[in-house]
Structure 1
Amino acid sequence: MDGLRQQGIKYSMTGARDGSDGTGDCSGTIVRSVEKAGANKPTWLYNTDSMHAWLVQNGYKLIADNKSWTAKRGDIVIFGKKGASGGAAGHVVEFISNTQIIHCTYKNPQMNGVYIDNEATTCPYYMGWYVYRNDNIDTSKPIEVPNTEKPNKVGWYMEKGTFKSNAGNENIAILDKAVDGKILGWIKPGQEVKYDQFTHKGGYVWVRQPRVNGSYGFVAIGKSNGKKKTESWGPCY
């Protein structure tokens, strides 16, 4: 997967899907990655629905089904209800650490391909998830993580993105500091906020919004168990 990231392939569900023609999608690139790590050659290039059984046949075990777990490098997480996760209804990622993932994704026309992202703001847990782990694979070779994905201070991770609220009829407060700050304003359902960092604190995932005059606002975008997002109030992209 990291080789495809360095090659700069583009996201597409209609091409070769595995990067061989310069394009790939989430499931095709993961399947080829697992195959190169020693799995049996797939009968066909599986999608998020059909790869469940193939992973099990190749020594992976389902260790979490819509439940929290302690992630480690090599974990493969399939999002979307089994049997109904084809196309845009599903996604699959591979963890490269307990907080970071590598996946092939479409963010926008200028940003699409294989990316290393922070799982807390990227993984679509609202779809439901299945975690597969193979304790026999070699995870000793490290993946070089771009500096932009490393924390710049304790607990906060740099990640530029946009959060869009879909929290029903509820407005989400913008605070002057995470957890117990004063209210600066509100985000209405359907509105977006740009952010440059995120963290887990006080039972929520927070993003930092750059504001005028060098100040910042802080927005809770979902619930957290301290390590992972357990409830999402909208997508980040």
Structure 2
Amino acid sequence: MVVKIEKSIDFMYELQRKGIRYSMTGARDGSDGTGDCSGTIVRSLEKAGASKPGWLYNTDSMHDYLIQNGYKLIATNKSWMAKRGDVVIFGKKGASGGAAGHVVEFISNTQIIHCTYKNPQMNGVYVDNEATTCPYFMGWYVYRNTNANTAPITTLPVTERPDKVGWYMEKGTFQVTINEPIMIRDKAVDGKIIGKVYKGDKIKYDQFTHKGGYVWIRQPRADGTYGFIATGRSNGQKRLDYWGTFK
């Protein structure tokens, strides 16, 4: 069977437009207004031409489903150049059920679409930046369907994977969700404090890095300088937690 990637992605966008809510106990595919990460992706692949699943597979059982429908495992716990339509399963195979796993579909080399729970007010289908959202600390498996039918696209500029220390281009907005104020510094890690941001504040940024035990973003400021803000802890390669949300 030929999977039409654009139909799979369109199905996820349709669930987003419908405003479905995240739940692992409902229909799981959006048909009752709720869905979870694996249920929505499995159903999106079926709508795109994949075989009818025996049941709505979870992150453990969908490995075989992907292979049966022409997907190949192209990377396990290592860097790869992402392409539109790549399906990535997070969590150790055989032990990733429930909250121990996650699955996303890439819509460009830097962005994903997925059904996720962020907090009680923000849960459902979202488009997110993969580097600041994907739970790489769980371990990951990358599947690509080389026989898939997809229309030509223009992806965002290619950047390195965040497994090397350095700054990476990425424009977005970070909104603080923790109760404690976060310091704005004139440089990452050991810079002097030049301001503070508080719960609910939104900060536009243009770059990020993993450095000094944290994930930092760079904030362009009105006077032509930059502020640097920690947004959560890092092990130097992967994000460990979040101090806010990203858009």
Q: TM-score, normalised by structure 1?
A: 0.74
Contact 1:73 1:95 in 2 (8 A): yes
Tell me which residue corresponds to 2:106: 95
The equivalences for 1:1-237 within 5 A come to: 1-140=12-151, 155-162=169-176, 175-178=185-188, 182-184=191-193, 196-197=204-205, 199-201=207-209, 206-208=216-218, 216-219=227-230, 221-222=233-234, 230-235=237-242, 237=245
CA-to-partner distance for each residue in 1:78-133, whole Å, 9 max, x for gaps? 00010110111100000000000000001111111000000111000000000000
Distance in 2 (alpha carbons) for counterparts of 1:88 and 1:8: 22
Distance in 1 (alpha carbons) for counterparts of 2:29 and 2:77: 27
After superposition, the CA RMSD in angstroms is 3.4
* % identical aligned pairs: 65
Deviation at 1:141, TM superposition (A): 7.1
**What residue ranges of structure 2 are gaps of 5+ in the alignment?**
1-11, 157-167, 195-200
**What residue ranges of structure 1 are gaps of 5+ in the alignment?**
146-153, 165-171, 186-192, 225-229
Deviation at 1:183, TM superposition (A): 3.6
Against the structure 1 CA distance between its residues 161 and 86, is the aligned structure 2 distance closer, same or farther, given a 3 Å change threshold? farther
Distance in 2 (alpha carbons) for counterparts of 1:141 and 1:85: 33
Deviation at 1:178, TM superposition (A): 4.7
Against the structure 1 CA distance between its residues 114 and 142, is the aligned structure 2 distance closer, same or farther, given a 3 Å change threshold? farther
Contact 1:77 1:129 in 2 (8 A): yes
Against the structure 1 CA distance between its residues 39 and 123, is the aligned structure 2 distance closer, same or farther, given a 3 Å change threshold? same
Deviation at 1:217, TM superposition (A): 3.1
Q: TM-score, normalised by structure 2?
A: 0.72
The aligned length equals: 207
Contact 1:195 1:208 in 2 (8 A): no
